[in-house]
Structure formats: C-alpha cells, structure tokens
Structure 1
C-alpha cells in the first residue's frame, strides 16, 4: 500500500552540498524513525517523507512518517527541537491534519527528539504532563527521546487500540 520512495527534488537539479544539508537538517530524523519502525516493529507499510498534492502549488503537505496497519493510518511528525509553548499549536495541527487525511481511522504521534528533562523551566514537568494528556484526548500520542527504546512496541500497540478522538 505505502511505498518507501520519496518525492524529493530530482537529484540532477541539486548540488551535493544542498542535498546533504537538507538531509541533515531534517530528513535524517525521519529516516531514523522510519527505520526503527520498519525494522524493529515488523510492519511492512511504513513510508517516510510522503508528499501529498505535489503538483499543486501552495497545497503541498508533507508527512514525515506514515504507517498503515490494523485498519488504521498512523501519521508521525518528527521534530528535532520544539519549545514547550509551541506544543499546544503543534498538537492541534497534527490532530486536524490526521482527521483530514485519515478521517476516523487516522491516528497521530508527535516525536520530539529531546528528553523530557532537557527543559529547564520550573513548570516543565506540569506542562509536559498536561500536553501529553491533551494529545491523548485528541487521539494522538506525544513521544520523547526517552521513549525511543519502546517505539516499535508503542506504535504497534497504538495501532491496535480502539480509540475514537474528539
């Protein structure tokens, strides 16, 4: 159903430095998450850097990692860095995007490539806990670098759960 192929700009139009910079800037995290799910979770329908509406200017949407299984479509957004005050907006954006793409069968996860303890704010623990609860209420899941070891199990369990979001 899904393919691992990507729709990046044609290689003959980019210089090697531009390709390397683009990959290291954002795509390496997507490829890593894709690889962890594909290799360790035993799921076949896993794709990364899925581009929707590639021919329509202004309407292009890119999905970092997409997993199809158990009659569900799981969209995983990967962020290298995300401030705590940005979390509510990103959670709502992921909820809206997944509802539009997957309808009732769509699920989403937001992976932030930082440990929970990396946030120095005095109220960081409370903010993170409230945003994780908000993500669950919106039919999604918020994952951190701390959760990476359990990612394959988390993904397969999440696909099997019966939960209809708001």
Structure 2
C-alpha cells in the first residue's frame, strides 16, 4: 500500500519535472546580475554564531526558511516612514514607500531596494514559488508573488521577524 507521504513526494517530483512545472519555475524572478551587486562582504557565520545572534523564532525563519504565523508581526501595523532591514545582518531591504496592506497577515512590499535580495525557486509546497533572501547574509525573508499593486505588480510577502524597522 502506498503511503500518503510517498504519494505527495512522488507527485511533487513529477510536477517539478513536467513542462508545466519547468515553465512556471523559468518564469519566476531570477537573481540580479552579480556585477550589479554592491561591493559588500557577504556574511558567513557558523550555525552556532547565528543561534547566538538571533532569537529562536528569527533563527528558524532566517536560517531554516520557516514561515512565521500570519498576523503575529508588529510590523504589519507600522505606518511611519523609514527603512526595513534584514534582522540577521542589517542590510537595508525595503523602503516604507513600497509597503502596502496585502491583507495576508505579513508585511508586504511592491518593490525592493536595489541589489538587496537574491532569489531561488522553492518547491516546498509542490507548486514552484520564488523565495527571496538577503543578498548579504542569505537570510530567508519570504516569497514574491505576481499579485501586487502597480507599478510592479509584485508582492514581496515578508516574515516580520526577519525584518527590523528604522524610522526616518
């Protein structure tokens, strides 16, 4: 008898290697041209150093690519002008000018600061999604979707625990 877990894993793998799965993944956003990334030193801390630096929840999200529960971040209600930075290393990621209320329960932005993130295709939920992470420390931030407002049509759906806010 086939186990449910095996069926899901096999189905996910089959979808990922079908034309539909590849086409969706190829359409996903890609990393910026490395020559355009600013000259900063990438952070490479050991796992134990990250555990000392971060709260358990921030570690789980930033280093293990977990997702915080919706509606748990105080940053959902943050309305002041300022900058949202990576909670792992402090790299500026978003301006408050690009923040909007997506109704999803996570801080959302329609644009990212230049050269602040990298992306990769994530198959964790079977259907390919575009995961984005801090360009300096590689900390997982969230996923980007093509259902955001103008002018980009993108929604960068961010884990609040992966961000800090610095008012202007």
- Common topology (TM > 0.5): no
Structure with bigger RCO (C-alpha 8 Å, 6+ apart): 2
Structure label with greater radius of gyration:
2
Task: Name the structure where helix makes up a greater proportion of residues.
Answer: 1
